[in-house]
Amino acid sequence: VFFRGQLLIAFLQGILFAIGFSIAGLKFGFVLGLLLGFLNIIPYLGSMVGLAITLPLAYFQQGGGWTTVIGVLIAMGAVQLIEGYLLTPRIMGDATGLHPMVIIIAIFFWGSALGGILGMILAIPLTAFAVVFWRLAQERYIDEWV
């Protein structure tokens, strides 16, 4: 279920990147957007590779320049905000049974606890495990003691 949710988020992110890059005037923006969305199956990989590819392309393409670079940065920022605050909490919340606010807090907590990107990648599975473990412990042991 987690991987299926991650695929859906990556697909939607790819569509949003493709639309944003096309509006910004990036040549091959639609194809690059879909590719970067696919790379976001592994969280943050698409964004890192995307910055490395799209910014030089936006600056050096014919008719490009700083305005195209700024447009690409705005598109990437907008997609990251939509993904971080809307797509991931809602889709992963439905897939894992966690409230969207719990997912946002979990990403911040595990990102700090495990030192960065690794914690952010493992945040949702670790939190889902902890919630399932707590529910099982509550059913089996806590209810018996009370």
Whole-prediction pTM value?
0.72
pLDDT in tens, 93-123: 777 777 778 888 888 888 888 887 788 778 8
Residue 76 has, within 13 A of its CA and on its CB side, a CA count of 23
CA distance 87 to 110: 19
Q: What is the mean predicted confidence (pLDDT) over 76-88?
A: 90
- Tally Cβ neighbours within 10 Å of residue 54: 25
Report pLDDT for 22.
93
CA distance 13 to 19: 10
Q: What is the mean predicted confidence (pLDDT) over 27-47?
A: 86
Report pLDDT for 144.
65
Pick the more confident residue, 86 or 104.
Answer: 86
Q: How confident is the model at residue 76 (pLDDT cuts 50, 70, 90)?
A: very high
pLDDT in tens, 46-74: 888 888 999 999 999 988 889 999 999 99
* Under 8 Å between Cβ of 83 and 93: no
Q: Is the pLDDT of residue 10 over 80?
A: yes
Average pLDDT, the chain: 85
> Could you tell me what percent of the chain has a pLDDT over 90?
33
Q: Radius of gyration of the chain from Cα atoms?
A: 19
